[in-house]
Amino acid sequence: MVRLRTAGPIRYWKPIQTGIELDDDTATVASLAGCAKSELLGDGIRLPRPLSPHLSARLAGTTIDLESIASTFSDAAADSRLVVEGAGGALVPLNDRELMTDLMARLGLPLVIAARSTLGTINHTLLTIEALRRRSLTIAGVVMVGPENADNRAAIEQYGCVPVLGEMPMFAPLTPDRLSAWAEHALDRERRLTELLG
């Protein structure tokens, strides 16, 4: 949000949130990015247990319906561009038939993969890239989180044929000022995200 505001009006949306009593990503983004109410879309599925969306929904006695999510997105996207955060990873189940990648395909947005920077990230990130490409989804790039690791970054860029848009350290504590300073100076220096937003 911090980095993309310069491109014009934009809103954050988390369409599916599990474990809502323990964790509220919308509130966290609002706090860290200093979002006005107009920059947040609060509509969505909010489930109590911090589990995979399909299981959390089942235990809550409901089913996640991608059609209703896509409809909310279409209405909101008519007024402003949206940054949409997924839940649980690319291949997490949302219901008995559909995965997060099915929602990604319906929304048709370019994707940013958040990946850790440490051991195991090459395999995990390349598998995610492969799953997205098999579904003809557009990958904007990868943001690595954790200690800088030049070898892991180079491997992801070489073998995944994607740019790493930034490497975010583990801030302790993570504050709005620290996040803003990092985003303005170290995230998407080539302005790829801004270009994709149109």
Verify whether residue 14 is a known catalytic residue: yes
Nearest alpha-carbon partner for 88 in 119, 120, 45: 45
**Tokens matching residue 38:** 């107009």
Query: Could you count the other beta carbons within 10 Å of the beta carbon of residue 18?
Result: 24
Compute and round to an integer the Cα radius of gyration of the chain. 17
Catalytic residue among 2, 3, 11, 14: 14
Nearest alpha-carbon partner for 16 in 93, 74, 126, 78: 93
- Catalytic center residues: 14
